[in-house]
Amino acid sequence: MLMSTTPSIEGRPIVRTIGLVRGNTIRARWIGRDVAAGLKQLIGGEIRSYTTMMSQAREEALSRMAVQAARQQANAVVSVRFTTSTIMGGAAEILAYGTAVEVKSS
């Protein structure tokens, strides 16, 4: 599945616009990570466990969006965006969304 943050894919004309597709995941923090993160705040630096968790969440949201696009017979998604929202204390949603399209094959 081709994906792009731009409204088109260079060299691949859009032959059909299908519509909005999205994928999301909700991730909760783990108390063990919070303890380590609290210590890291004291000394500074990257909180790698959270970086990994958010990276995995973004990939999961993208994957779910691609599955929805494929079910609608799309072969690409353009104008891909991410957004996040707090669901409750300690849990956040990652949402990937874009426009499912059919592009001309190369």
How many C-beta atoms lie closer than 10 Å to residue 65's C-beta? 24
Domains (ranges, CATH) in the chain?
A: 2-103 (3.30.110.70)
Q: Which structure tokens are listed for 5?
A: 């943050």
pLDDT digits (tens, 9 = 90+) for 25-42: 998 866 555 555 555 565
Q: What letter represents residue 54's amino acid?
A: M
- pTM above threshold 0.95: no
How many C-beta atoms lie closer than 10 Å to residue 17's C-beta? 11
89 vs 72: which has the higher pLDDT: 72
